[in-house]
Amino acid sequence: MEDYSIKLYAMTCGWVTMPYGFFFAGKSGGYLAVPIQSYYIEHPKGTVLFDTGLETNLQSEDPEDVKQALGAYASLISVQYHAHEDIKSRLEAFGVDPAKINYVINSHLHFDHCGGNVSIPNARIIVQKREWQAAKNEENIEKQIYYPKLYDLGHDRLEIEGEHDLFGDGGVVLFPSYGHTPGHQSLKIKLEGKEVVLTGDACYLKKALETMTLPDALVVNDAENMKKSFELFKKLQSRGAKIIFGHDPEQSLTLTDGPIKQVTLRELI
């Protein structure tokens, strides 16, 4: 199989505003609005989503609905999310039937990365085993770190441990990037002869990787592992990989500031 036959599409499924210090440990003052990105991948052997954004009830005007969805972060963040910005609407507007997606790869199981799983009913969910265990842990659920209503929906599920080559040809490869959560994972894609890395929340911003500055401890489960993930991204970058950061507002403008759009290497140079 030629790797140029793989296509990658980005879409913005709402925005979230958080304290600036969430993104850079030791910094304070002000807030930063960042995009919630999801990605659609077409491979000759199947279709894939990397993360699914927010759940649709965040369109509700009922503050209790929103509070429940945001869990432990409800008092610290706000979402900007409107009709037709959910992943189902994005895909349908592009002519893709959400019911026919083969796989959903959740980088992790926080509200803004798995909230749209409900709209992709027939996909097989692929998650790191240790992430699923953390998300099923009653103590974590009580602390509102995880919200089972978003991800424990009865989907067929593949729990992996470590690196996983989805189609067996090196074109779509999941790999651990622990730190933000116990079982966070990122994704490598072969695109136009180059490797593209979707970091998820293992690295929020380009500036963070450039300065090797971790996020605030409030959003980091394991700082040592997160630092190792940063170092891995740096290593991949030095080998020519193109890095797509989890919530970078400047980079997102080159990918898409809204509806689904094909990603080419030109946007990543």
Summarised one tens digit per residue, pLDDT across range 237-260 is: 999 999 999 999 999 999 998 999
Do residues 177 and 185 lie in contact, with contact meaning Cβ atoms separated by under 8 Å? yes
Summarised one tens digit per residue, pLDDT across range 48-99 is: 999 999 887 766 656 666 677 777 777 888 888 888 999 999 999 999 999 9
Q: Residue 1 pLDDT more than 60?
A: no
Cα–Cα distance for residue pair 169/181, rounded to 1 Å = 28
Q: Which of 23, 21, 15 is nearest to 54 (CA)?
A: 15
Residues of the domain holding 35: 3-268
* pTM of the entire predicted model: 0.95
Summarised one tens digit per residue, pLDDT across range 168-222 is: 999 999 999 999 999 999 999 999 999 999 999 999 999 999 999 999 998 999 9
DSSP symbol at 98: G
Give the three-state DSSP class for 180.
coil
Least confident of 24-28, 34-38, 92-96, 203-207: 24-28
Helix (H) or strand (E) holding 251: helix 249-255
Residue 219 is part of a domain; what is its CATH number?
3.60.15.10
Do residues 122 and 100 lie in contact, with contact meaning Cβ atoms separated by under 8 Å? yes
DSSP string, 180-198: SSTT-EEEEEEETTEEEEE
What are the residues facing 133 on neighbouring strands? none
Instruction: Please tell me the total count of domains within the chain.
Output: 1
Q: Residue 128 pLDDT more than 80?
A: yes
